[in-house]
Chain A
Amino acid sequence: MYQVPDVHLLTFLPFVAVVLTGLVTMVLSAFGTEEQQARLPRIGLLGLAVSGIALLLAGTARTNSSFGGMLNMDGTAVWFHIVFLITTALTVALAADHFKDLGAEHREIYALLLFACMGMMLMAAAGNLVVLFIGLETMSVALYIMAAMGGRRQESSNEAALKYLLLGAFATGFLVYGMALLYGATGSLAVATISDTVAAGSAHVGYLAIGLALLTIGLGFKVALVPFHMWAPDVYEGSPTVVTAFMAVGPKLAGFAAMWRILHDAALPAQQQWMPVLAVLAVVTMLVGNLAALTQTNIKRLLAYSSIAHAGYIALGVMAGNQTGLQGVLYYAATYAFLSLAAFTVVLIANGDTNEQLHIDELRGLGKRAPLAAASLTVALVGMAGIPPLSGFLGKYLLFSAAVQSGHVAVAAIGVLCSVISVYYYFRLIVLMYMQPPVEGAQQIEITGYTKCALVATLVGTIILSLPIGWPIVLMAGWCAV
């Protein structure tokens, strides 16, 4: 006879808010009048805001675990939730402008974004591998559909969606196999119990090693670590840019949150097994991502490789597995979210409504055609390159010092070297925007509505994280990391 598990409403209220909003937008996208459908983005934003408030309430709850430890709303989870809510809100704003004129079947994007957001939140708060798996799949399935919402570019977006789905499901296979072996090694799927069993040394050594390897491969696909990155440039290029913006941030960071939950929370006692693997993956990812970005001429592909490189930096923090590492991962997650979303917002603006593939030459003279967008992109690129005083520098500093603390000086040195390489391709874009004349017949671009809000929000976010007032945020990340 067992009792009903402990349920603390406060701890899962943020999820309820997002799911209910998702359901409401889904129903309205089918049943609503034209007027109601025009209001969908606002409803989505409202729901995300409510979820944010609920998150603050969750912070005041007397316990952070619910459903018998299935949900674990610790500082790390709350931090990631804030990042995911902001990411989703900005993407909803971008979709409001850029999906407005597309057919009725594109209105489901708001519901899908909210469901994906809920999945990512579950991944970050998972206290059990079952919950982690459900979160991951909720996110992935929503993303597969969104990748296919190509509007006028149906062909390449369909192809991107199929590639994403096939590779994603492939990765899921590895991930679940890894979970099964971890279960076989420890007799439990609960993160806390796995950790106890591994620490007590009573876990089956072989199953544990193979299981962790398979889990790393599965999550490596999701966050696009080299050599599991092959899908990323194609999918990022083919998907609608709004969706690419989301894809480059949300699922990647959620993947790292999940990686942290598994490798650190569940398998820290076995760190000697996974640390070298992750170190090698991080080095290869940083090198390949940055070197491949050098030769790209399509801006979405360039940003795709750049995002692969950033995954390499974040992997350093996960690899270190210490306090500084988590602090770095958390701070860099927030930083990267703003920088990457800013860059993709400018790509959307420069694209106009033609939704064509953007060659980097089309950025020429953007400084004159759209000063605000050019300024934002400059801030984003300088931040990504890791030039002080922008937030990217501080984030990389934390990640690299975590790597040094864990005894990987050479790995950190390669990281610094890669950041230097990345300056080249980031600054090439800045030079194009300001030093080159615009293409013949290029118009002034007016930025309005939601897009402008999103652009300003990313800029403000980056500046807040960069300014000296950003330091309390670093401390906060440290506090969340406890």
Chain B
Amino acid sequence: MPSGAEPYLFLSAALFAIGLYGVFTRKNAVGVLMSLELLLNAVNINLVAFSRTVDRGVDLVRLGGTEVGGVALGVSGQVLAIMVISVAAAEAAVGLAIVISIYRTFRHITVDDLDLLRW
């Protein structure tokens, strides 16, 4: 049973796949970080799309709200999307800080050449 979110799911899956490709092929730590951001933002599209299509607002009803004429009121997907945005920013900030610190110690930020710790 299609819910109306399918086109967005394909878009999001494609972006997620591009992000995965970037994570695996990028040699530069900043490039990998950017690809990771892409992963999270791809998921955000999913969350927002589902929030518009499948969320029945049950959680809102639990919180004491009411459904208005059977129209979906739920916004929990959008709430999670906002959380993901801010968490992605925090992760990016910490990631860039670590990359700067790595650059100061190693004078490069090529992920493959960081091999002090071996298997």
A-to-B contact residues, CB < 8 Å? 1-5, 68-69, 128-130, 133-134, 137, 141, 144-145, 148, 154-156, 158-163, 165-166, 169-170, 172-173, 176-177, 179-181, 183-184, 187-190, 193, 204, 233-234, 237-238
User: In chain B between 39 and 84, which residues have their CB closer than 8 angstroms to a CB of chain A?
Assistant: 39-40, 42-43, 46-47, 50-51, 54-56, 58-60, 62-66, 74, 76-77, 79-80, 83-84
- Besides the contacts A3-B64, A170-B39, A234-B119, what 8 more A-B pairs have beta carbons closer than 8 Å? A130-B76, A144-B95, A169-B91, A173-B16, A176-B40, A176-B80, A183-B47, A234-B118
How many A-B pairs have beta carbons closer than 8 Å: the answer is 169
A179 partner, pick from B59, B80, B94, beta carbons under 8 A: B80
What separation, in Å, do the CA atoms of A172 and B54 have in the docked complex? 23
What separation, in Å, do the CA atoms of A189 and B76 have in the docked complex? 7
Sample (23) of A-B pairs whose CB atoms are under 8 Å apart: A5-B64, A128-B59, A128-B76, A144-B95, A144-B98, A145-B94, A154-B105, A155-B105, A155-B116, A162-B98, A162-B99, A166-B33, A169-B39, A170-B36, A172-B40, A173-B36, A176-B43, A177-B46, A183-B80, A184-B3, A188-B58, A189-B80, A204-B1
What separation, in Å, do the CA atoms of A141 and B96 have in the docked complex? 13
By the criterion CB–CB under 8 Å, are B65 and A188 in contact?
Answer: no
By the criterion CB–CB under 8 Å, are A68 and B84 in contact?
Answer: no
User: Which of B1, B95, B99 gathers the greatest number of chain A CB atoms within 10 Å?
Assistant: B95
By the criterion CB–CB under 8 Å, are B54 and A148 in contact?
Answer: no
Residues of chain A lying within 8 A (CB to CB) of residue B117: 156, 159-160, 163, 233-234, 237-238
By the criterion CB–CB under 8 Å, are B116 and A69 in contact?
Answer: no
By the criterion CB–CB under 8 Å, are B84 and A133 in contact?
Answer: yes
A187 partner, pick from B58, B98, B105, beta carbons under 8 A: B58
User: Could you mark each residue 106-119 of chain B with 1 if its beta carbon is under 8 Å from any beta carbon of chain A, else 0?
Assistant: 10000100101111
By the criterion CB–CB under 8 Å, are A188 and B76 in contact?
Answer: yes
By the criterion CB–CB under 8 Å, are B98 and A165 in contact?
Answer: yes
Instruction: Give B24 Cβ to nearest chain A Cβ, in Å.
Output: 10
CB closest chain-A residue, reference B60: A2
CB closest chain-B residue, reference A160: B117
By the criterion CB–CB under 8 Å, are B91 and A172 in contact?
Answer: yes
User: Which of B9, B39, B106 gathers the greatest number of chain A CB atoms within 10 Å?
Assistant: B39
Instruction: Give A440 Cβ to nearest chain B Cβ, in Å.
Output: 27
Residues of chain B lying within 8 A (CB to CB) of residue A190: 58-59, 62, 76
Instruction: Give B86 Cβ to nearest chain A Cβ, in Å.
Output: 9
Q: With A173-B19, A183-B77 in contact, do A166 and B87 touch (Cβ < 8 Å)? A: no
Residues of chain B lying within 8 A (CB to CB) of residue A189: 59, 76-77, 80
Instruction: Give B116 Cβ to nearest chain A Cβ, in Å.
Output: 5
Residues of chain A lying within 8 A (CB to CB) of residue B98: 144, 148, 158, 161-162, 165
